[in-house]
Amino acid sequence: MGGRDRWTTADLPDQTGRVAVITGSNTGIGYHTAAELAEHGARVVLAVRDLEKGDAAAQQIRETSPQAAVEVQHLDLSSLASVREAAEALGAAHPRIDLLINNAGVMYTPKQHTADGFELQFGTNHLGHFALTGLLLPRMLRVRQSRVVTVSSMAHRIMAAIHFDDLQWEHGYNRIAAYGQSKLANLMFTYELQRRLAAKRRSTIAVAAHPGTANTELTRHLPPFLRPADRLLTPLVVQSAAMGALPTLRAATDPEVTGGQYYGPGGIGEQRGYPKLVEASKQAHDVELQQRLWSVSEELTGVTFPV
């Protein structure tokens, strides 16, 4: 066993009997999260936008782990209609859901909008997951010790604020700040959800994680001025997607995890290393801002929670 300071997949408990829904799990961190959970006995649902890539990922998992129970569900987080369709299908197929891992995301995209008119990064990374969680939560509340794990980022500290006066960036757009806002929203959502679950004495918990600096497809939208630095730093600080998945896996499975915790790499600057408890920014813990964001998110998505 890896121990508390060197937690690895060898520490991952048996997941037999658990149902795990993982968004954005056909590649990168989401794929490695799904593969490990399936290897350890969970029935895994790859909730993905591209069904062809999802089917290929599912087949790859089965080839590595012949006993794996894995299926694919179409989900486009940039469309609330798709989120509702996916939630309905998942609810019909799985009366109980033990794990919801809100992993999918877009980063540093040029200014674009979702099908519902939201800024793409905020709409996909936060609002899509907010709606999905609210719609699936009734299936989770009936399962003792179920977990909602939402993947945030170190970027929640960088140029990050919730721009309540212009959430959709209609008056100017900064792709880095917009990404930071979406990742800050992920953390605020986690903390407010945990507070509501605890107030109702539910055993379901909400936890957050971040992968540090991991080698994934998210960097495909890096602004041109950042690409030379990315090429220079990648060999020095970037860890594999498999290592980047460890904080999510620990948040999802470690029996010592409690609601409202945040896991990330334990190395210098939280950029790489084995997962440990980390701290979010002071702003992420602002209860008034969390509650305001929650109210706005309910209004924008039309989804309310049973807690």
Catalytic residues: 179
DSSP string, 133-153: HHHHHHHHHTSTT-EEEEE--
Q: Are strands 69-74 and 99-102 parallel, antiparallel or unpaired?
A: unpaired
- At 127, list the tokens: 């609002």
Backbone angles phi, psi at 22, to 5 degrees: -125, 120
| Spatial distance between the Cα atoms of 204 and 151, rounded to a whole number of angstroms | 17
237 Cβ contact partners less than 8 Å away, ≥ 6 residues apart: 213, 271, 272
CA 307 – CA 293 distance, rounded (Å): 16
Q: Are 227 and 168 in contact (CB under 8 A)?
A: no
Q: Which of 112, 127, 43, 44 is nearest to 82 (CA)?
A: 127
Task: For the chain, report the end-to-end CA distance as a whole number of angstroms.
Answer: 37
Strands (E), 124-265: 147-151, 205-209, 262-265
Within 10 angstroms of residue 100's Cβ, the number of other Cβ atoms is: 29
Residue 122 phi/psi, 5° resolution? -65, -40
Residue in 181, 188, 189 with CA at minimum distance from that of residue 155: 181
